[in-house]
Amino acid sequence: MTQSTPSLVTRLPAVGTTVFTRMSALAQQHGAVNLGQGFPDFACDPRLVDAVADAMRDGHNQYPPMTGTPALRQAIAAKISALYDHAYHVDTEITVTAGATQALTTAILCAVHPGDEVIVIEPAYDSYMPAIELAGGVVVPVPMALDDRGYHVPWDRVQAAVTGRTRMVVINTPHNPTGSILRAADLDALAGIVRGTDILLLSDEVYEHMVYDGQPHASVSRHPELAARAYVVSSFGKTYHVTGWKIGYVAAPAPLMVEFRKVHQYNVFSVNAPMQQGIATYMADPAAYEGLPAFYQHKRDLFRAGLAASRFELLPADGTYFQCVRYGAISDLPEAAFAEWLTTEIKVAAIPVSAFYRGGQESGIVRFCFAKAEATLANALERLARV
């Protein structure tokens, strides 16, 4: 008998291999310094590893509660209360997730129904739109404005994009890939748009501890009117330099969290038990995240100083561990082609910002990641100075 594999009609026809995977593979192939994919190349605090190992030895190796280890949910609630003056109930309003991407996808799947519209600010992290499409939703992209102040959200355009079918607005601050941040006035503008509606918010705040120059992080949790309708997502992987651990969390009002957990329990159920317990122990000392702004600002300033005399034009970088640059003085290549040339010829990998737009909008801008050891940054800067 002839054996054949049945064909599938794809659920995500526009999705292929991510640009991060492609550029990292290209960097490895050509021996390039990888400033493309956003992960640190330095170790986490050994005390965190010890805390997880201790949790394993203490027997925290079976299924934890679906919602997350109580000690970790308590630590999350205490941190949010201390930083943003908002009290989330430990038992009903916080859930530990298998990374922030799972939290984002689960929030979309539980809230967005076929035909619902979801406003997404572009350029956008690449998981938002596929998750919306899997839920049967309709993506409504609104491009950020770019001027002498850098990237910022044009709230008048967001307002114009709202219709009677708008179910959710997705925001991201600090913003990947642009390195921009929202401020209190931005949250007030957003509140004015959603006031009197049933529109939900999904706030991606995984870089919450990477805001520079003394600016506060404008968490949605700080804004009671917005927090009442929002899923707020963060990431231990980003905060503690352990992106491969894939542990994050979501905070939301209890009625929203009920629906979130209905989906969460069937697409993940529960998350790595010893890591949860170890992180809870480690969070007893807030110095680990309180020191992050200064830690990464030093790297940002080092990287920016190294590029200051180059032909790259630096855009503002107020948060995250990303630096966007214009390269118009160097090349008129499209962004993807320039990033490939930079990787293969100059031996430094970057990410084209056009990859963060649904239509591949070209701006002559690429993104570097400076979450690297100083020796790595020095090596990359030496090569980039020759461009």
> CATH 3.90.1150.10 spans which residues of the chain?
19-38+290-384
Q: What is the pLDDT of residue 142?
A: 98
Express each pLDDT in 363-376 by its tens digit: 999 999 999 999 99
Q: What phi, psi does 239 have (nearest 5°)?
A: -70, -40
Separation between Cα atoms, residue 243 and residue 240, nearest integer Å: 8
Separation between Cα atoms, residue 279 and residue 291, nearest integer Å: 17
Separation between Cα atoms, residue 233 and residue 127, nearest integer Å: 14
Cα distance from N-terminal residue to C-terminal residue, the chain: 60
**CATH code assigned to 19-38+290-384:** 3.90.1150.10
> CATH 3.40.640.10 spans which residues of the chain?
47-285
- Of 304, 85, 292, 87, which is closest to residue 208 (Cα–Cα)? 292
Q: What is the pLDDT of residue 21?
A: 86
Q: What is the pLDDT of residue 308?
A: 95
Q: What is the three-class DSSP state of 121? A: strand
Q: Please, are residues 245 and 275 in contact by the beta-carbon 8 Å criterion? A: yes
Q: What is the pLDDT of residue 68?
A: 98
Express each pLDDT in 134-161 by its tens digit: 999 999 999 999 998 899 999 999 999 9
Separation between Cα atoms, residue 256 and residue 378, nearest integer Å: 46
Q: What phi, psi does 326 have (nearest 5°)?
A: -85, 145
Q: Where are the alpha helices (DSSP H) in 150-227?
A: 155-161, 184-194, 224-227
Q: What is the pLDDT of residue 124?
A: 97
| Architecture in CATH of 47-285 | 3-Layer(aba) Sandwich (3.40)
**Which residues, given as ranges, of the chain have pLDDT below 50?**
none
Q: What is the pLDDT of residue 333?
A: 98
Q: What is the pLDDT of residue 3?
A: 85
How many residues comprise the chain? 387
Separation between Cα atoms, residue 238 and residue 246, nearest integer Å: 9
Q: Based on the number of CB atoms within 10 Å of its own CB, is 253 exposed (0-12), middle (13-18) or buried (19 or more)?
A: middle
Q: What is the pLDDT of residue 239?
A: 97
